[in-house]
A and B are shown apart, each in its own frame.
Chain A
Amino acid sequence: GENVEQHPSTLSVQEGDSAVIKCTYSDSASNYFPWYKQELGKRPQLIIDIRSNVGEKKDQRIAVTLNKTAKHFSLHITETQPEDSAVYFCAANRIGGGFKTIFGAGTRLFVKA
């Protein structure tokens, strides 16, 4: 079955710097890759997603990139702010294939003011 690995498990950056979180997946049939943000004690929230027919997607300060050949995708956060501090989860799915979303283990991001 699908396996998603996420790195690093913890990331600490200075406010204003960029943060990058990387994920790899094992099933080459996966074609949809959402990212979720979970603040301490709160619910996960879908923040951005990308489909396999697109190499990059951007939404204000966050962007996702996808390399299908290498089977890895990344979340980029620019100009980080303290409110970006949270746990971020990547996930992989195969739309239309009866395949359930598989999550990475999460990255705890600390943004130091």
Chain B
Amino acid sequence: DAGITQSPRHKVTETGTPVTLRCHQTENHRYMYWYRQDPGHGLRLIHYSYGVKDTDKGEVSDGYSVSRSKTEDFLLTLESATSSQTSVYFCAISESGEHQPQHFGDGTRLSIL
């Protein structure tokens, strides 16, 4: 398996609190992605990064921000969590810039109460 670590793996928090999820890779891949997975919706892209400090929005980016200060780390922040952001979040990486994720992390299950 590709070296992708997501933390935390599980989190429960309250509406209105800030939340940061971390994705760490050891593959030195240029491209990193954050997806959310909800029943009936498959996987939806939140944000992606094509290099250090280079990020762009996906199809469901409202309410989320990202940062990438190092090649190996990609952070996803919910500035003020809402119940609609309860989901399973997956980080993914790819070596090429063709926008398809090649390897996924194990996911973070986030519950907003």
A103 adjacent to chain B (CB < 8 Å): yes
Q: For this complex, into which size category does the number of interface residues on chain A fall?
A: 20 to 34
Stretch at the interface among B19-27, B66-74, B76-84, B93-101: B93-101
* Contact between chains at A105 and B90 (CB < 8 Å): no
Bound-state Cα–Cα, A47 to B31, Å: 19
A43-B107, A44-B90, A45-B104 known; A103 vs B99 contact (CB < 8 Å): no
Q: Which of B42, B59, B104, B107 contacts A100 (CB 8 A)?
A: B59
Bound-state Cα–Cα, A100 to B31, Å: 12
Stretch at the interface among A12-20, A55-63, A91-99: A91-99
Residues facing A in B43-65 (CB within 8 A) are 43-45, 48, 58-59
A34-B100, A44-B90, A91-B100 known; A103 vs B58 contact (CB < 8 Å): no
* Contact between chains at A43 and B106 (CB < 8 Å): yes
Bound-state Cα–Cα, A43 to B45, Å: 15
Top 5 nearest A-B pairs by Cβ distance? A103-B42, A43-B104, A103-B43, A95-B98, A101-B100
